[in-house]
Chain A
Amino acid sequence: MNLFVLYLLLLKAVATSFSGLTSLPVVRHDLVEQHRVLTDRQLNAAVVAGRTAPGPNGLYIVSVGYFVAGVPGACIGCLAVMTPAFLIIPMLRYLGVRAERPAVKNAIQCVMVAAAGLVITSTVPLARDALTGPLAVGIALGSFLFLVLTRKDTFWVVLGSAAIGLLGKLL
């Protein structure tokens, strides 16, 4: 895939989201379904890589870029993650108090809710690929409950799930 096209697609995904994984439905739609340059399994692995590393949550996009086009793709992914951040500067200069307007807040609240629905829709095919047995289903449910109830770092979930997967194979 042409790197410029990849940049535009990843930028579109990042620029139409408001936090880490809310860009995932757009990435899946464009790269898995439309262009077929990424598989659901790779997208899943990208989420894990992005969540394991420190730093901003949206860095799974870098891993997506790497899967699609190697190191140049990863650089493009990194650029796509960074670009929209600078939009805040003109907003800071000119919007200021207007950001507190009820109309803007209402629109954002609804976007967040719709994004939750889109994330669920994207999770279904990834789950179909990853949840291959009772142990995997247990890990997924356990991860969800652990993260929601304890608010601990996802790093521990990644570490624990890898250990459980390994033990499941050895025993």
Chain B
Amino acid sequence: MPPASLKQLAWIFLRVGNLTFGGGDPTMAALQSELVAGRRWLDEEQYGLIYGLARITPGTNLLAFSAAAAWKILGWAGAVAAVVALTVPAAAMVVLLTYGYEVFNSNALAMAAIGGTLAAATGMMATSAWQLLAPQIRAGRRARTAVIFLASLVASQAFSMPPVQVLALAALAGLIWRVPVEP
């Protein structure tokens, strides 16, 4: 494996993480090209394991993936550098956008444009729900998916059950009501 420096590693995560739109999957694909195919700091098997584990790590999958990939290459210093390089510039941009929302809050034309984006946000949230649900609507899982989806809606909407409790009950249901999983 060719040696990596902390500066090189941080630069890759800063560049790829902050210039790739579309969230986790496109960014992880770009990082795969850089770290596996390009510089060979990770092999395909390591990438596969890290990708799989990132999926089950609580929080943002992309950040977990980055922490693990960089840790494998340069230890804890690499992990911290990668996560900071990936998050802080984009977070600064989020703050600027939020500030812009506050500043233009009293301008009628700006509010019309912002009103359009707020309406779109509800569409984005519905998309997010669909993207979580769609992979689970497949043969052998449909009944369980329907029951858990409806139960979570009723528990949260009709009984105001806190989300953490709903998720914990869903995990428990998954441990009890098992279906065959792909290797």
A→B interface (CB under 8 Å): 12, 14-22, 24-26, 29, 41, 44-60, 62-63, 66-67, 71, 74, 77-78, 81-89, 91-92, 95-96, 99-100, 102-124, 126-127, 129-132, 135-137, 139-144, 146-148, 153-155, 157-158, 160-166, 168-170
Contact = CB atoms under 8 A, between A and B. Distances in A.
Contacts of B157: 121, 124
B150 A117 contact: yes
B123 A144 contact: yes
Interface size band for B: 35 or more
Interface in B154-171: 156-157, 162-164, 166-167, 169-171
Given A78-B87, A143-B124, 9 more contacts: A16-B164, A18-B58, A62-B95, A63-B97, A81-B87, A84-B58, A107-B171, A158-B120, A170-B109
Given A118-B152, A147-B127, A126 B178 contact: no
Interface of B: 17-24, 27, 49-50, 52-68, 71-72, 76, 79, 83-84, 86-91, 93-95, 97-99, 101, 108-109, 112-130, 132-133, 135-136, 141, 144-145, 148-153, 156-157, 162-164, 166-167, 169-175, 177-181, 183
Main secondary structure of the interface of A (DSSP, over half): helix
